[in-house]
Structure 1
Amino acid sequence: MPVPRHALLAATVALVAILGSAPPASAAPSRTAAPPVQGPAAIRPTWPHGALPGFPRAAGPAATRGSRNWSGYVAADKPGSFTSVEAHWIQPVANCTGATADSVAALWVGLDGSRAGRGTVQQTGTTVSCVDGRPEYLAWYEMFPAEQVYYNDPVEPGDELWARVAIIGTNRYELLLRNVTKKWTELSYAEPPEGADPKRASAEVVVEAASRVAGEPRVLTDFGTVSFTTAKVNGQPLGDSDPDEVTMVRDGIVRATPSPLTDGGTAFELTWVAN
């Protein structure tokens, strides 16, 4: 997932996705973070991108899962189960003081980021970052393992964003990101990079602390609380997909946590707890 432009990694992967509508030129992107750890709430080391082992589901809806770098809701099922995911949110303010003076939080929706995704993620969203104590807000999309693509459109705290990722062909994806407040829309069409094999076995609405090459999550920006609304999977309320509630826990410390789903399973708040 995204890392601010000031922390670009030396190891890069060539962007080979086939784009139907090229986004504006932008700063060179960086690698994405590892998918969240699946399994019981006890935290295991972060898994790298790739096929994740299966895990037994806890009884009841919204089973709680732990992740070192994700927080939000993740729906998972057999391959081919998911065709689209979408949500609205209000861009939060970055608190760039103290330990979060150099940090990142990515807000996004996507397909295939966990479980049996086989090392692929199709995702779009925004970042809330701190660069040497200064806030930075970016918009982007990514077809991991291809590189992130940044848009040049402005994003500011208080802006209403709407993001949607959907498969529209055998292996072709539509990635939409709209700033309702500033009245701009980016609509990109892309195919996974050569060799990638998306399974469409999961759908995500999350906030992420982006990882470095070694998979170690970076400091999570203090974003306060962000509200996700009209969250849907396959055109139906997110809650209908029996998603897992994912809390970000690292080194025994809760970093970010989601509220229970409300508004018919389409809304939740996600709160920063610690860096």
Structure 2
Amino acid sequence: MKSPLRIAVAVLAPLAVIGLAAPAVSAAPAPVQKSTLHKPLNHGLSHSTSGNWAGYAVTGGKFTSVSASWVQPAVKATSQDAYSSFWVGIDGDGSNSVEQLGTEVDYINGRAEYYAWYEMYPAYPVNFSDTVSPGDHFTASVTETTGGKFTLKIADTTRGWSHTVSKTYSAAKLASAEIIAEAPSDSNGTLPLANFGSVNFTNATANGKAIGSQSYDPITQASGGTTKDAVSGLTSGTNFTCTWKHV
């Protein structure tokens, strides 16, 4: 089975400005049957809409760490195959690489697929085999130490498993940090967004500081005038919610 590709480059709608605040569900440790990517952003954001991202990006400096927690949402049945992922990462807003990891839930052939993954885009993603279920609590972080050496950590604190991955990408720009809910992409473009209901991100930090204390950009996913995934304002500078609106 092929794993979804995640290119962390958010495909942006042309500079649309928004307000500040603006089935069969079965746990499956195996990867989904579709190759999907998480794409990087192709230019800087400022309270913008994106074709495939919702969440927050922090810019305006050098970023060597990002972290957040979330509860894995459950997917609802849709009339077509649909995909969604939730992750933290460095780069992707204005750069062609992303160092990221997170979780996924896709609705494929009438059933839900849940799993966790990491990706050093432009390399392909790697899926973990551990079981992921709706309601599991996750914490994840990406840290760059020196010379493009990255440590990517993810833990399912509900089930008690965790992974720490060490990778090197010396060309990383370290120009942004993100906490994102995404509609993954394949070679044909952005895929339909799975109905995950909502996901609450908490304790979101970049460089060890609350994202709300830095230069941050809230992002809503929209396409053709239709909002797909709406992002809330920040509470306590570190917490926000992404809410599914449309496939």
Using the size of structure 1 for normalisation, the TM-score is 0.77
The answer to whether the Cα contact below 8 Å between 1:105 and 1:210 also exists between their aligned partners in 2 is: yes
In the other structure, the counterpart of 1:30 is 5
In the other structure, the counterpart of 1:157 is 134
Tell me if 1:241 matches 2:214.
yes
The answer to whether the Cα contact below 8 Å between 1:33 and 1:211 also exists between their aligned partners in 2 is: no
What secondary structure, in the 3-state scheme, does the structure 1 residue paired with 2:186 have?
coil
Match of 2:89 among 110, 113, 130: 110
Tell me if 1:98 matches 2:79.
yes
In the other structure, the counterpart of 1:272 is 244
Deviation string, structure 1 residues 36-95 (Cα, Å, up to 9, x no partner): 42873269xxxx96894557xxxxxxx4111000000011224xx101000000000011
Deviation for aligned residue 1:242: 2.0
Amino acid at match of 2:5: S
Amino acid at match of 1:156: S
Tell me if 1:203 matches 2:177.
yes
Deviation for aligned residue 1:96: 2.0
Using the size of structure 2 for normalisation, the TM-score is 0.86
Do the aligned partners of residues 140 and 253 (structure 1) sit closer, same or farther apart at CA in structure 2, a change above 3 Å counting? same
Deviation string, structure 1 residues 187-214 (Cα, Å, up to 9, x no partner): 000012xxx7211111100111011224
Amino acid at match of 2:75: A
Q: Distance in 1 between matches of 2:44 and 2:106?
A: 33
In the other structure, the counterpart of 2:97 is 120
Q: Distance in 1 between matches of 2:227 and 2:42?
A: 23
The answer to whether the Cα contact below 8 Å between 1:29 and 1:147 also exists between their aligned partners in 2 is: no
The structure richer in strand per residue is 2
Amino acid at match of 1:91: Q
What secondary structure, in the 3-state scheme, does the structure 1 residue paired with 2:77 have?
coil
In the other structure, the counterpart of 1:256 is 229
In the other structure, the counterpart of 1:70 is 53
What secondary structure, in the 3-state scheme, does the structure 2 residue paired with 1:190 have?
strand
The answer to whether the Cα contact below 8 Å between 2:153 and 2:164 also exists between their aligned partners in 1 is: yes
Q: Distance in 1 between matches of 2:13 and 2:213?
A: 20
Which consecutive unaligned segments of at least 5 residues does structure 1 have?
Answer: 9-27, 56-62
Match of 2:200 among 227, 232, 240: 227
Which consecutive unaligned segments of at least 5 residues does structure 2 have?
Answer: 19-37
Root-mean-square deviation (Å): 2.2
Match of 2:186 among 212, 222, 225: 212
In the other structure, the counterpart of 1:142 is 119
Do the aligned partners of residues 236 and 149 (structure 1) sit closer, same or farther apart at CA in structure 2, a change above 3 Å counting? same
Deviation string, structure 1 residues 122-160 (Cα, Å, up to 9, x no partner): 000000111111001010000001110111111100000
Deviation for aligned residue 1:34: 3.4
Deviation for aligned residue 1:32: 2.4
Q: Distance in 2 between matches of 1:230 and 1:201?
A: 21
Deviation string, structure 1 residues 207-244 (Cα, Å, up to 9, x no partner): 11011224x21000000011100111100111112210
What percent identity do the matched residue pairs reach? 36
Q: Distance in 2 between matches of 1:237 and 1:246?
A: 17
The answer to whether the Cα contact below 8 Å between 1:33 and 1:212 also exists between their aligned partners in 2 is: no
The answer to whether the Cα contact below 8 Å between 1:122 and 1:144 also exists between their aligned partners in 2 is: yes
Q: Distance in 2 between matches of 1:210 and 1:200?
A: 22
How many equivalent pairs are there?
A: 228
